[in-house]
C-alpha cells in the first residue's frame, strides 16, 4: 500500500512537471481575444489542476489557411482564491505555402468574496503575424457575477476595465495606448454527464471612442471519451471595427481536437 501511494504521488508530480515544461517551451510565442471562460476548470478540491489540448482548425483572415494549435492550462485553487495561467501557441499554413506562428499568454487572479460575486485581475500578452499584431499587451480588473444557482446550467456576467498597448506592423497605424471596457456574458450547459457546452460573448469598446470596438463570440462543445480525455469542437467569431490596415473586420475559426485534463 505504501509503495502504491508513493507511485501515485510520483505520477501527480510528473503531470505538473510536464505541464510546466510545455508552458515554458511555448511561453515566448504570443495570438486575438482570449475566452477567459475557457481558462476555468470546474473543481471542488483545492490544489493544482489543469489540461493540455491539441487542435486543428480551418480559419479565415486575409486568406484561408489550415492551423495546428496547442493549449496548456494550469490553475491553483485555495479556499476563495483562484489563480489561472494559460498559454496557447498556433502554427498556420497559409494557402498551402509557409507556416506562420501566433500565440497568447494569459494570467488571471480571482477572489470570491460572495457566493455569487468575485473580483478578477488579469494580464495578457499576445502576438499574431497574420493579423499584423506585433504585440498587444493588457492589464485589467473588475467584478464577475454568477447569475444562476443551478449546477446543470450556469450564466455569468463580467464587467471589467483594462489598459491596452498595441503595436501593429501595417506601416500606417501608430502605437496605440488606450483604456477599454471589456464585458462578457457566458453560459455553461451540462445536458448529460458526458457533454458540456460553453459559450461566451465579449464586447470591448474604447472608453474615449465607443465607435472603436471589438466583439468576440466563442462556443465550445466538449464530449468526454473516457477518463481525463475528451473531444472538443470550438467555433470563434471576432469582429474588430479598426483592425490593422489590410486585415478584414471579421474573422472566424473552427477548431477540433482532444483535451487531456488532470487534477
The Cβ of residue 156 has, within 10 Å, a number of other Cβ atoms equal to: 20
C-alpha grid cell, residue 141: 480588473
| pLDDT of 99 | 65
C-alpha grid cell, residue 228: 481525463
How far is the C-alpha of 52 from the C-alpha of 30, rounded, in Å?
Answer: 17
| pLDDT of 213 | 97
How far is the C-alpha of 26 from the C-alpha of 71, rounded, in Å?
Answer: 9
Q: Would you put residue 104 in left (φ > 0), alpha (ψ -120 to 50) or beta?
A: beta
> In the chain, pLDDT over 70 holds for what percent of residues?
77
Query: Where exactly are the structural domains of the chain?
Result: 2-262
Question: What's the CATH fold of domain 2-262?
Answer: Porin (2.40.160)
Give the model's confidence band at 80: pLDDT under 50 very low, under 70 low, under 90 confident, else very high.
very high
Amino acid at each position: 500500500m505504501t509503495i502504491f501511494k508513493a507511485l501515485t504521488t510520483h505520477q501527480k508530480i510528473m503531470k505538473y512537471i510536464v505541464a510546466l515544461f510545455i508552458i515554458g517551451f511555448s511561453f515566448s510565442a504570443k495570438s486575438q481575444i482570449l475566452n477567459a471562460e475557457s481558462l476555468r476548470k470546474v473543481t471542488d478540491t483545492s490544489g493544482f489542476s489543469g489540461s493540455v489540448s491539441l487542435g486543428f482548425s480551418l480559419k479565415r483572415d486575409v486568406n484561408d489557411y489550415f492551423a495546428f494549435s496547442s493549449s496548456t492550462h494550469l490553475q491553483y485553487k485555495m479556499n476563495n482564491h483562484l489563480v489561472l495561467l494559460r498559454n496557447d501557441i498556433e502554427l498556420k499554413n497559409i494557402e498551402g505555402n509557409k507556416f506562420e506562428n501566433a500565440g497568447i499568454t494569459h494570467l488571471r487572479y480571482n477572489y470570491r468574496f460572495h457566493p455569487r460575486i468575485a473580483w478578477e485581475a488579469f494580464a495578457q500578452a499576445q502576438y499574431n503575424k497574420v493579423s499584423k499584431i506585433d504585440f498587444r499587451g493588457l492589464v485589467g480588473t473588475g467584478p464577475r457575477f454568477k447569475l444562476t444557482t443551478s449546477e446543470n446550467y450556469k450564466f455569468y456576467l463580467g464587467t471589467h476595465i483594462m489598459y491596452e498597448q498595441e503595436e501593429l506592423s501595417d506601416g500606417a497605424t501608430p502605437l496605440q495606448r488606450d483604456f477599454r471596457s471589456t464585458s462578457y456574458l457566458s453560459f455553461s450547459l451540462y445536458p448529460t454527464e458526458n457533454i458540456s457546452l460553453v459559450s461566451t460573448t465579449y464586447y470591448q469598446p474604447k472608453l474615449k471612442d465607443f465607435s472603436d470596438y471589438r466583439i468576440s463570440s466563442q462556443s465550445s462543445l466538449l464530449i468526454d471519451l473516457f477518463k481525463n480525455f475528451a473531444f472538443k469542437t470550438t467555433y470563434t467569431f471576432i469582429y474588430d471595427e479598426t483592425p490593422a490596415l489590410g486585415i478584414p473586420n471579421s474573422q472566424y475559426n473552427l477548431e477540433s481536437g482532444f483535451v487531456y485534463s488532470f487534477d
